[in-house]
Chains A and B, each alone.
Chain A
Amino acid sequence: MAMKAIDPQYTADTKYALEVRNVDIYYSAFRAVKNCSFGMERNKITALIGPSGCGKSTVLRSLNRMNDLIAGARTEGEVLYRGQNLYDPDIDAVQVRRSIGMVFQKANPFPKSIYDNIAYGPRVNGWKGSKAEMDELVERALRGAVLWDEVKDDLKKSGLAISGGQQQRLCIARALAVEPEVILMDEPCSALDPISTLKIEELMFELRQRYSIVIVTHNMQQAARASDNTVFFLMDKEDRAGQIVEYGPTEQIFQSPKDERTEQYISGRFG
């Protein structure tokens, strides 16, 4: 049974960390996304762009089965990770999320101390180790999210008692602490000031060496400067379902788009 779920073509050095094949996503009867296929390369940053309501968040959430939490949401098609279809009935959503982490649009630290925010993930996931080792893990995660220097003296402070940008980096650090392979980010900078945004973009470049990153963004410059590949979504005017217009290396999408709608969107003429 489990064998069937594994894609025979999968090998350790398949190009994609995650691959979406012919995915349709429904909210009850409404098809929000249709016929969606693309791959997210290993150790690269993939940006999902498109006008509001075209289904970017919906697709992103389908990548680690966060859509399961929405009553009536349903995904058809395949999302492949390590050769397995995440939507195979055998697959456990908790295991999926353990390997594919997520950072949300609005920073959502737990109302616990900074330290406990980070330690939470490892603790629930069966971490075994001493207090000192946990300290070390917390430090590494915070360093990984370039937050360590700002909070190292205040690890006992509530996660809610730091600035918005710091909170968002705390959320990233928290995601790092469970050592995921892929990190999904839904407009992580939309509520942040330019400096915090820049910090997070730099951070993403750092993280790219260890993780594969998928990011949804409304900010064209951000997509252009901080991603390797770009997927452009647009809503079909007839059935209001989002679909992919174009996808490829960011450079190509931004400099010589093949589709004229992409061109228009990027140059700010609609959307």
Chain B
Amino acid sequence: MSAEPLTPLSASTGRLPQGEEVKQNVASRQQRGKLWQASLLFSVFVGLLVLLLLAWNIVNDAFGGIAVQEAVEVEALTGGRELEELAQPELVAILEENLRSRVLRNLNREQPLAERDAENLIEVILFEIIKPEVVATFSLYDYLFNRAEIEAQLAQDFPRAELEFKSWLRWDFIVNPMSSNPIFAGVRTALLGTLWLLVLTILISFPLGLGAAIYLEEYQSDKIFDERKPVGRFFNRVIERSTSIISTNIYNLSGVPSIIYGMLGLAIFVRALEAFTSGSFFGANEGTTANGRTIISAALTMSLLVLPVVIISSQEAIKAVPSTLRQASLGLGATKWQTIWKIVLPNALPGILTGTILAISRAIGETAPLIVVGASTFIVTDPTSIFSKFTVLPIQIYNWTSRPQDEFRAIAAAAIITLLILLLSLNATAILLRNYLRSRRVS
């Protein structure tokens, strides 16, 4: 393509590439672009990889192998039979043979052995005599791919131990209460605490957040007091100023670290309002040593934490309702509140609910403020009222992760999976709810 030269602006300094040069220039630039594009894509893959590693890391710990060593082997105890095959009197006999008299006396005082059922007796036998002990824990990867090595090691260190597959996440784990032995420990108390906290936080933050959002979106410019009187004008001015402060303030609050909310909760709800939050004012003293460190304190703290996000997302949802709808309603002589209640809110509800649930599911994963507010790390009693002591899943995860033993790490991973499943189902609920409400409005 020997084209004639372009007519340059002036002959002296035409320094742009010409002719064949252009082709080379463009080709090299295109190539550079492709390289950069590849490196961008690489970054995206790094992100995906991290997510996969995170998931793998959890699964790797939550499942795997354990080496169990029993103080006394079942076979030796029963003469080769399974415990489940034995009749109740035989179980009692085993206990009476193998336990010291003091222990037996204690057990009998709780409930006479003869009166207990087989299931209970087996439990006691396991706990008191057989005492299965996890002597080593292995990750899923080691269990699957380094089997030979593990077994050699075990044979040397714990010849009597048996290697078996272990899913730390199992039904028992969900329904068992806390225990200092990781084998028996479960998340029941924490799960219940989390659910209590979830419900209470929704109950507190949803109406408050929605109210604030409605005010900010719909009533910003409306005067509460009579404009015709100077006093009314003055108060209207005050409210107007404070409203604009509220708006910016909400954004700033949404950026405050969550641990600071925890400190606020500690000073206000746990300490200053202790009479109310411990329930003693209402005569509902649990007899625990909870002080103000109760579910209600935690829920109030969490509500303050999520409030800015609930307000902002509700505002967005309200904003998305077309103003023509409002005008139509007002044009028919409806009052402002009638318009909001009958037109704006029903239309905005799907968005508001989704936003609220998403915000609160964030809060459910929060740990730091609850540490400060004083969630218990070790309790075995289920929460029964808003004035109960409590623990929650993230606190348990934190607590177990910070222990050095492998077994605790494994149950921490199992608790993480429980928490993530809970969060995912919350999010799924939010989405389903939104779709349901939307479809109902259309038909």
Determine whether A and B are in direct contact in the complex, meaning some CB atoms lie less than 8 angstroms apart: yes
A residues apposed to B, CB below 8 Å: 2, 6, 12, 82-84, 92, 94-95, 98-99, 122, 124-129, 133, 136-137, 140-141, 144, 176, 178-179, 181, 210
| B25 cross-chain contacts in A, Cβ below 8 A | 125-126
- What is the interface residue range for chain B against chain A? 20 to 34
Q: Are A12 and B23 in contact (CB under 8 A)?
A: no
Q: Are B17 and A125 in contact (CB under 8 A)?
A: yes
Q: Which chain A residue has the least Cβ–Cβ distance from B4?
A: A12
Return 28 A-B CB contacts under 8 Å, by A number. A12-B3, A82-B1, A82-B3, A84-B1, A92-B26, A94-B26, A94-B29, A94-B30, A95-B26, A124-B29, A125-B16, A125-B17, A125-B25, A126-B25, A127-B16, A129-B13, A133-B13, A136-B13, A137-B9, A137-B13, A140-B9, A140-B10, A176-B9, A179-B6, A179-B8, A179-B9, A179-B14, A179-B16
Q: Roughly how many angstroms separate A92 CA and B34 CA in the complex, as a whole number?
A: 14
Q: Roughly how many angstroms separate A83 CA and B4 CA in the complex, as a whole number?
A: 12
Q: Roughly how many angstroms separate A84 CA and B23 CA in the complex, as a whole number?
A: 14
Q: Which chain B residue has the least Cβ–Cβ distance from A144?
A: B9
Q: Smallest Cβ distance from B177 to chain A, in angstroms?
A: 57
Q: Is B440's CB within 8 Å of the partner chain A?
A: no
Q: Are B1 and A128 in contact (CB under 8 A)?
A: no
Q: Are A95 and B22 in contact (CB under 8 A)?
A: yes
Q: Roughly how many angstroms separate A178 CA and B25 CA in the complex, as a whole number?
A: 14
Find A128's partner among B3, B8, B10, B15 (CB 8 Å cutoff): B15
Q: Are B14 and A98 in contact (CB under 8 A)?
A: no
Point out which of A2, A82, A125, A176 has the most chain B C-beta atoms below 10 A from its C-beta.
A125
Q: Are A126 and B3 in contact (CB under 8 A)?
A: no
| A179 cross-chain contacts in B, Cβ below 8 A | 6, 8-9, 14, 16
Q: Is B148's CB within 8 Å of the partner chain A?
A: no
Q: Roughly how many angstroms separate A12 CA and B1 CA in the complex, as a whole number?
A: 10
B residues apposed to A, CB below 8 Å: 1, 3-4, 6-10, 13-17, 22-23, 25-27, 29-30
Q: Roughly how many angstroms separate A99 CA and B26 CA in the complex, as a whole number?
A: 12
Q: Are A92 and B30 in contact (CB under 8 A)?
A: yes
- A-B pairs, top 6 by smallest CB distance, nearest first, are A129-B15, A126-B25, A12-B4, A95-B26, A133-B13, A128-B15
Q: How many A-B pairs with Cβ below 8 Å?
A: 53
Known contacts A12-B4, A82-B3, A144-B9; can you find 15 more A-B pairs with CB under 8 A?
A2-B1, A83-B1, A92-B26, A94-B26, A94-B30, A95-B26, A98-B22, A125-B25, A127-B15, A137-B9, A140-B10, A176-B9, A178-B16, A179-B8, A181-B6
| B17 cross-chain contacts in A, Cβ below 8 A | 125-126
| A126 cross-chain contacts in B, Cβ below 8 A | 16-17, 25, 29
| B4 cross-chain contacts in A, Cβ below 8 A | 12
Point out which of A6, A124, A127, A179 has the most chain B C-beta atoms below 10 A from its C-beta.
A179
Q: Roughly how many angstroms separate A95 CA and B17 CA in the complex, as a whole number?
A: 11
| B10 cross-chain contacts in A, Cβ below 8 A | 140
Q: Which chain B residue has the least Cβ–Cβ distance from A5?
A: B1
Q: Are A92 and B16 in contact (CB under 8 A)?
A: no
Q: Roughly how many angstroms separate A125 CA and B18 CA in the complex, as a whole number?
A: 11
Q: Which chain B residue has the least Cβ–Cβ distance from A140?
A: B9
Q: Smallest Cβ distance from B192 to chain A, in angstroms?
A: 51
Q: Which chain B residue has the least Cβ–Cβ distance from A2?
A: B1
Q: Roughly how many angstroms separate A2 CA and B14 CA in the complex, as a whole number?
A: 27
Q: Roughly how many angstroms separate A12 CA and B7 CA in the complex, as a whole number?
A: 13
Q: Roughly how many angstroms separate A136 CA and B9 CA in the complex, as a whole number?
A: 11
Q: Roughly how many angstroms separate A129 CA and B13 CA in the complex, as a whole number?
A: 8
Q: Which chain A residue has the least Cβ–Cβ distance from B24?
A: A126
Contact A6/B16 with A98-B22, A179-B9 known, Cβ cut-off 8 Å: no
| A144 cross-chain contacts in B, Cβ below 8 A | 9
Q: Are B3 and A92 in contact (CB under 8 A)?
A: no
| B30 cross-chain contacts in A, Cβ below 8 A | 92, 94
Q: Smallest Cβ distance from B292 to chain A, in angstroms?
A: 54
| B29 cross-chain contacts in A, Cβ below 8 A | 94, 124, 126
Q: Are A98 and B26 in contact (CB under 8 A)?
A: yes
| A128 cross-chain contacts in B, Cβ below 8 A | 15
Q: Roughly how many angstroms separate A98 CA and B14 CA in the complex, as a whole number?
A: 15
Q: Roughly how many angstroms separate A140 CA and B375 CA in the complex, as a whole number?
A: 73
Q: Are A122 and B1 in contact (CB under 8 A)?
A: no
Q: Are B6 and A122 in contact (CB under 8 A)?
A: no
Q: Roughly how many angstroms separate A94 CA and B9 CA in the complex, as a whole number?
A: 22
Q: Which chain A residue has the least Cβ–Cβ distance from B14?
A: A179
Q: Smallest Cβ distance from B104 to chain A, in angstroms?
A: 80
Q: Roughly how many angstroms separate A108 CA and B27 CA in the complex, as a whole number?
A: 27
Q: Which chain A residue has the least Cβ–Cβ distance from B28?
A: A126
Q: Which chain A residue has the least Cβ–Cβ distance from B23?
A: A95
Q: Roughly how many angstroms separate A178 CA and B8 CA in the complex, as a whole number?
A: 10
| A129 cross-chain contacts in B, Cβ below 8 A | 13, 15
Q: Smallest Cβ distance from B342 to chain A, in angstroms?
A: 41
Q: Roughly how many angstroms separate A94 CA and B23 CA in the complex, as a whole number?
A: 10
Q: Roughly how many angstroms separate A82 CA and B25 CA in the complex, as a whole number?
A: 19
| B8 cross-chain contacts in A, Cβ below 8 A | 179
Q: Smallest Cβ distance from A136 to chain B, in angstroms?
A: 6
Q: Which chain A residue has the least Cβ–Cβ distance from B18?
A: A179
Q: Smallest Cβ distance from B343 to chain A, in angstroms?
A: 36
Q: Are B1 and A6 in contact (CB under 8 A)?
A: yes
Point out which of B4, B7, B9, B30 has the most chain A C-beta atoms below 10 A from its C-beta.
B9
| B7 cross-chain contacts in A, Cβ below 8 A | 210
| B9 cross-chain contacts in A, Cβ below 8 A | 137, 140-141, 144, 176, 179, 210
| A210 cross-chain contacts in B, Cβ below 8 A | 7, 9
Q: Roughly how many angstroms separate A181 CA and B22 CA in the complex, as a whole number?
A: 14
| B23 cross-chain contacts in A, Cβ below 8 A | 95
Q: Which chain A residue has the least Cβ–Cβ distance from B25?
A: A126
Q: Roughly how many angstroms separate A184 CA and B75 CA in the complex, as a whole number?
A: 93
Q: Smallest Cβ distance from B4 to chain A, in angstroms?
A: 5
